[in-house]
Amino acid sequence: MERKRLHALTVLDSLAEGGSETYALSLIRALRRRWVRWSYAGGQWLLFEAFAKEACSIHPVNLSPWSLMHEAEKEGAERSLKLLMHARHINVAHIHQTPSGTVAARAVKKLSVPVAFTVHGMYYAPEQLLETSANRSLLISVSRPIQRYLEAMGLRSEVVPNGVDPGVFYPVDASELRASLGFPDASVVIVYASRLASDKAIVCSLLMQAVRKLYAEGGAQIAPSAH
């Protein structure tokens, strides 16, 4: 008997270079070799070619948060998603963000298609998180702290952690980079990796404050730097 192939739809705000987008891309790369076909719905941007390279069918749908503030735009996006899922014979959907995921989950539910919702952080608006979770078939956390955060809200989730591709990120001799930044070889270096976005600034600021406190208290040989 021929095995039925899964056709999954990934829904994102856009194809920006953020954590949610790279997570979705890594999942597509891994699962398309295992009888999974992929389509994408949402806005376009920097990762368009990377998604297309993975044989992912790309369908532009305006799911930007500011456009979904308008009821007419929201209804239009939901209608577009339902038509797309019907035309592409989608049998599972994967959402990552709100409010785009909220609209997608509502559209998917009306078609009786299972939907997985991956929660990438603790920054979701609580009412949107709860509404989107109510329409999902499976809830996924990318870390244990996020799983505990959801449990405190009465939401059970499975952990599928963020990973690092060793083909892209791997250890190298850092002495030349340290010297260019003025870091002594024996110093401790703390790296905060994130896209440059205003909503990430609070986390980065808290980390820098913690580093300065450790340095001031003499608990660690840490030299704060703003590179």
DSSP 63: -
The tens digit of pLDDT for each residue in 139-193 reads: 999 999 999 999 999 999 999 988 777 887 888 888 888 889 888 888 888 888 7
Model confidence, pTM = 0.80
Percent of the chain with pLDDT over 90: 48
Give the pLDDT score at 1.
36
Sequence ranges of the domains in the chain: 6-159, 175-217
CATH architecture of 6-159: 3-Layer(aba) Sandwich (3.40)
H/E run at residue 132? helix 126-134
The label of the residue with tokens 């308008």 reads: 70
Closest listed residue to residue 121, CA positions, set 141, 151, 93: 141
Per-residue pLDDT averaged across 204-227, rounded?
Answer: 72
Closest listed residue to residue 138, CA positions, set 117, 154, 152: 117
